[in-house]
Amino acid sequence: MDEAQGKATAGLILQGLRKRFGELEVLKGVSLEVHRGEFFTLLGPSGCGKTTLLRLIGGFEVPDEGRILLGGRDLTGLPAHLRPVNTVFQNYALFPHLTVYENVAFGLRSRRFPEAEVRAKVEYALGLLHLESLVHRYPHQLSGGQKQRVALARALVNEPEVLLLDEPLSALDAKLRAEVQVELRNLQRRLQATFILVTHDQEEAMAVSDRIGVMEAGRLLQVGTPEEVYERPRTRFVAEFLGVAN
Ligand code: ADP
């Protein structure tokens, strides 16, 4: 592969990311390559730094050290709205006074896309998430699962190269969660976008991921396919966290 081709197909590269909040070093040098078009999951217990890592990738926090590259471009100093990256937050963060349609259209309208283009993109995104019949509803008229899908449509309407998902299923009940996991996986395959999911739920990671990165206390301990990580946990912590220690 020549260099130009290599850049075009390069994924997301994290190099030596460190982040400190006061006395607490939350990320202690995280390096990782997420392949383009891959479903990658950051898995680890609460407080290990998963969300902080996601926020660095999204541009909501600045690393103290290290770099973030996407397709050969350096994103490290770039503000969130200029990155080809979108985030679905845990609480969905929908605008309560806007309808489903207006919520999904909001970002495009604020970037002054022509209205015909807004309509085409919004209708496509709503179709992907099977939301066509709910366009005129307000968030308070939606179930948890429906709000979740609107949040996804709102992120996908921007056609991001990378979609970041911060525990997006944690508010859903078990049955719905299993359904949305399948939907997410199908969506990612269909769009061939790079999805990065944060979760503390091993089964969820297993169900959706091409590869998993297991974190503990600000460090990435192991990266591999679900099978690799489960069958050959590299440390005692990984084995215990996955419940496969003997
Ligand atoms: P996780 O997503 O794995 O639960 P987080 O990245 O949310 O972990 O948090 C890692 C640690 O960093 C926690 O101890 C948390 O309290 C702390 N932390 C996160 N954000 C901030 C912040 N803005 N200021 C101070 N401490 C923070």
Task: Give the mean model confidence (pLDDT) for residues 70-77.
Answer: 94
Tens-place pLDDT, residues 59-70: 999 999 999 999
Per-residue confidence at 2, pLDDT binned at 50, 70, 90?
Answer: very low
Give the C-alpha separation, 163 to 165, whole Å. 6
Please name the residue whose Cα sits nearest to atom 16 of ligand 1.
47
Kindly give the distance from the C-alpha atom of residue 27 to the centroid of ligand 1, in angstroms, as a whole number. 10
Please name the residue whose Cα sits nearest to atom 25 of ligand 1.
21
Nearest to 51 by CA among 218, 212, 222: 218
Residue 30 has pLDDT above 80, yes or no: yes
Q: Which residue of 24, 53, 167 sits with most ligand 1 atoms within 8 Å of its CB, as the best mutation to test the pocket? A: 24
Residue 245 has pLDDT above 80, yes or no: no
Burial of residue 201 (CB within 10 Å: 0-12, 13-18, 19+) is middle
Nearest to 225 by CA among 236, 205, 210: 210
Find where tokens 């992907």 sit: 128
Give the pLDDT confidence score for residue 9 in this predicted structure. Answer: 59
| Ligand 1 atom closest to residue 51's alpha carbon, by position in its atom list | 2
Burial of residue 33 (CB within 10 Å: 0-12, 13-18, 19+) is middle
Per the model's pLDDT, the better-predicted residue between 244 and 242 turns out to be 242
Give the pLDDT confidence score for residue 180 in this predicted structure. Answer: 83
Q: Which residue of 17, 25, 26 sits with most ligand 1 atoms within 8 Å of its CB, as the best mutation to test the pocket? A: 26
Quote the crossing angle between the two packed helices 115-128 and 144-156, to the nearest 10°.
130
Please name the residue whose Cα sits nearest to atom 1 of ligand 1.
47
Kindly give the distance from the C-alpha atom of residue 206 to the centroid of ligand 1, in angstroms, as a whole number. 24
Parallel/antiparallel/unpaired status of strands 162-166 and 194-199: parallel
Residue 3 has pLDDT above 80, yes or no: no
Pocket of ligand 1 (CB under 6 A): 21, 24, 26, 44, 46-52
Tokens linked to 240: 């215990």
Cβ pair 74, 68 in contact under 8 A: yes
Q: To the nearest whole percent, how much of the chain has pLDDT over 70? A: 96
Task: Give the mean model confidence (pLDDT) for residues 66-85.
Answer: 94
Mean pLDDT across the chain, nearest whole number? 91
Calculate the CA dihedral of residues 14, 17, 21, 25 and round it to 10 degrees.
Answer: 130
Residue 32 has pLDDT above 80, yes or no: yes
Residue 190 has pLDDT above 70, yes or no: yes
Give the pLDDT confidence score for residue 214 in this predicted structure. Answer: 97
Kindly give the distance from the C-alpha atom of residue 38 to the centroid of ligand 1, in angstroms, as a whole number. 26
Per-residue confidence at 4, pLDDT binned at 50, 70, 90?
Answer: very low
Tokens linked to 1: 């592969």
The secondary element (H helix, E strand) that includes residue 214 is strand 211-216
* Helix, strand, coil tally for the chain in percent (to 5): 40, 25, 35
Residue 8 has pLDDT above 60, yes or no: no
Give the C-alpha separation, 244 to 246, whole Å. 6
Where helices occur in 10-114 by DSSP H, the ranges are 50-58, 100-110
| Ligand 1 atom closest to residue 61's alpha carbon, by position in its atom list | 23
Per-residue confidence at 169, pLDDT binned at 50, 70, 90?
Answer: confident
Task: Give the mean model confidence (pLDDT) for residues 102-107.
Answer: 95
What does the DSSP 8-state code read for residue 143? Answer: -
> What ranges make up the beta strands (E) of 35-153?
39-43, 65-70, 73-74, 85-88
Kindly give the distance from the C-alpha atom of residue 21 to the centroid of ligand 1, in angstroms, as a whole number. 8
Kindly give the distance from the C-alpha atom of residue 192 to the centroid of ligand 1, in angstroms, as a whole number. 30
